[in-house]
Amino acid sequence: MPYLTEPEFRHDRPARTGVLLVNLGTPEAPTAKALRPYLKEFLSDRRVIEIPRAVWWFVLNGVILNVRPKKSAEKYATIWQTEGSPLLVHTREQTRLLAEQLGQRGHGDLVVDFAMRYGAPSVESVIQTMRARGVDRLVVLPLYPQYAASSSGTALDAVFRTLMKLRNMPEVRTVRHFHDHPGYIAALAGKIRAHWQAHGRPDKLVMSFHGVPRFTLDKGDPYHCECHVTGRLLAEALGLSRDDYAVCFQSRFGRAEWLKPYAFDVLRELGRARTRRVDVVCPGFVSDCLETLEEIAVEGKEVFLTAGGGDYRYIDCLNEAPDAIAILADIVEAQLAGWTRAQPDTAARLARARALGAAG
């Protein structure tokens, strides 16, 4: 395997530490033409589709890639922003704010960047850029609170595959999950409380997580359990009884059984029960994307209302909320132990000096 081109080695070059956020990915445009290569890369991942390659190759290339790109493009078009897809917009801004927050905490020399597991910017291209900037130590943070082989696992795969192509490999630390991080639970609870203060409390809070095939649980994937841990901790933080909330799973694909209960089944049942008000939150997503803004906020609402339900409200993901950025910074700082030493923020030092001068 040929090595990737790396910057010229210098003995006097100071080591720098990098922080790499990795998210799922997005097509470059809400068009069938752009969706086809994106879906092909995504659905060709052996972590995502775990069925025999020969069978899947014919299904993917003979059926799915001839039908799904157009349908997916139509859905993306309904949520697309001027700057691009919401997932890209939020991830880019989260990265900028994280770098700013870490700088305020005294880690101003960090190289903070983001990559997408599928699409652009690719993991390989971003790591090469970071290496060119002198990064010899790397913290990798997949932006998935709950670990799944098909999300965090494949994101780390992409990182390790890139590192295999480097002659001079950096030190690496990875974040597995943060589903039960106290700060993450507190931020989710704060977001929901703020929504309730503005709009009142619902009869039922529905927590919808992205689904995965049922057999992944049998094979040892911890995702199902970690979703329920997040749900339980969030309910406790909000003071909810077991009847006040429901945990379910969305985005089912294909005919195989996936984790249950399915989100649309839960919403349909609540609608048939003439539930007056339902709020839906997606604690498995750090950023709003197609699966939250279109599938849950739009399709989920239609399912609930059509079945006879009353008021339906979707609560946004954390996105760029200050609490969300603070959590990411806390997680990164914990990984930096022994690598970097926080330096006092320059602005804070000047402010203290001026205060002392005024007091004197």
Q: Cβ neighbours of residue 236 under 8 Å, at least 6 residues apart?
A: none
Annotated binding site: 210, 291
Annotated binding site for Fe(2+): 210, 291
Which contiguous run of DSSP H or E holds residue 141?
A: strand 135-142
How, if at all, do strands 171-174 and 111-119 pair?
unpaired
CA dihedral 212, 57, 85, 283 (to 10 degrees): 10
Q: How far apart are the C-alpha atoms of 60 and 36, rounded to whole Å? A: 11
Q: How many helices (H) and strands (E) does the chain have?
A: 14, 8
CA dihedral 44, 48, 54, 55 (to 10 degrees): -120
Which contiguous run of DSSP H or E holds residue 157?
A: helix 154-163
Is the distance from CB of 120 to CB of 26 less than 8 angstroms? no
